[in-house]
Amino acid sequence: MSALQILQRDPGSQARVGVLRVERGEIRTPAFVPLATKGTVKGLEAREVAALGYDMVLGNTFHLFLEPGADLIAEFDGLHEFMGWRRPIITDSGGFQVFSMGHGTVADEVKGRAPAGPDRMGRVLQIDEQGVRFRSYIDGSERFMGPETSMEVQAKLGSDIALVFDECTPFHVDREYTARSTERTHRWLDRCLAWHDAHGPREQLVYGIVQGGVHEDLRVASTEEVAARPVGGIAIGGSLGAEKPQMYEVVGWATAALRDDDRPRHLLGIGDVDDLIRGVELGIDTFDCAMPTRLGRHGVAIAPDPENRWRVELTGARHKHSREPIMEGCPCPACSAGHSRGYLRYLLKNRELTGVRLLTLHNLAYLARLMAGLRAAIAGGTLAAHAAALRAGAAP
Three-state DSSP state, 26: strand
- Burial readout 317-345 (b: 16 or more C-beta within 10 A, e: otherwise): eebeebeebbbeebebbbbeeebbbebbb
139 near a copy of itself (CB under 8 A):
no
Least CB distance to a copy of itself at residue 326 (A): 13
CA distance 304 to 302: 7
Least CB distance to a copy of itself at residue 148 (A): 25
Q: Is 238 annotated as a binding residue?
A: yes
Out of 197, 321, 381, 394, the residue judged to bind a copy of itself by CB under 8 A: 321
53 near a copy of itself (CB under 8 A):
no
Q: For a copy of itself, which is the closer residue by CB, 47 or 391?
A: 47
- C-alpha angle 283/288/289, rounded to 5°? 125
Q: For a copy of itself, which is the closer residue by CB, 47 or 318?
A: 47
Q: Is 211 annotated as a binding residue?
A: yes
CB contact at 8 A, 363 and 292: yes
Least CB distance to a copy of itself at residue 312 (A): 19
Cis peptide before 68 (omega within 30 of 0): yes
Mention every residue, 6+ apart, whose C-beta is less than 8 A from residue 307: 393
CA distance 301 to 355: 11
Please count the residues of this chain forming the interface with a copy of itself, following the rule CB under 8 A: 38
Q: How far is the CA of 268 from the CAs of 30, 254, 284, 292, in angstroms?
A: 14, 13, 10, 14
Site for a copy of itself in 323-352 (CB under 8 A): 323, 333, 337-340, 342-343, 346-347, 350, 352
CA distance 42 to 61: 16
118 near a copy of itself (CB under 8 A):
no
Out of 133, 319, 357, 362, the residue judged to bind a copy of itself by CB under 8 A: 357
Out of 44, 132, 221, 370, the residue judged to bind a copy of itself by CB under 8 A: 44
Site for a copy of itself in 60-99 (CB under 8 A): 67-68, 72, 75-76, 82-84
171 near a copy of itself (CB under 8 A):
no
CB contact at 8 A, 272 and 301: no
Q: For a copy of itself, which is the closer residue by CB, 39 or 304?
A: 39
Among 92, 272, 275, 285, the active-site one is 92
Nearest-Å Rg of the Cα atoms of the chain is 21
Three-state DSSP state, 34: coil
Least CB distance to a copy of itself at residue 65 (A): 14
The yes-or-no answer on residue 288 being catalytic is: yes
Q: What is the DSSP letter of 299?
A: T
CB contact at 8 A, 370 and 53: no
Q: Is 168 annotated as a binding residue?
A: no
CB contact at 8 A, 225 and 256: no
Least CB distance to a copy of itself at residue 160 (A): 19
Residue stretches of the annotated binding site for Zn(2+): 330, 332, 335, 362
Binding-site residues: 92-96, 166, 211, 238, 330, 332, 335, 362
- The footprint of a copy of itself (CB under 8 A) covers 38-47, 67-68, 72, 75-76, 82-84, 320-321, 323, 333, 337-340, 342-343, 346-347, 350, 352-358
Q: Which residues are catalytic?
A: 92, 288
Residue set of the binding site for substrate:
92-96, 166, 211, 238
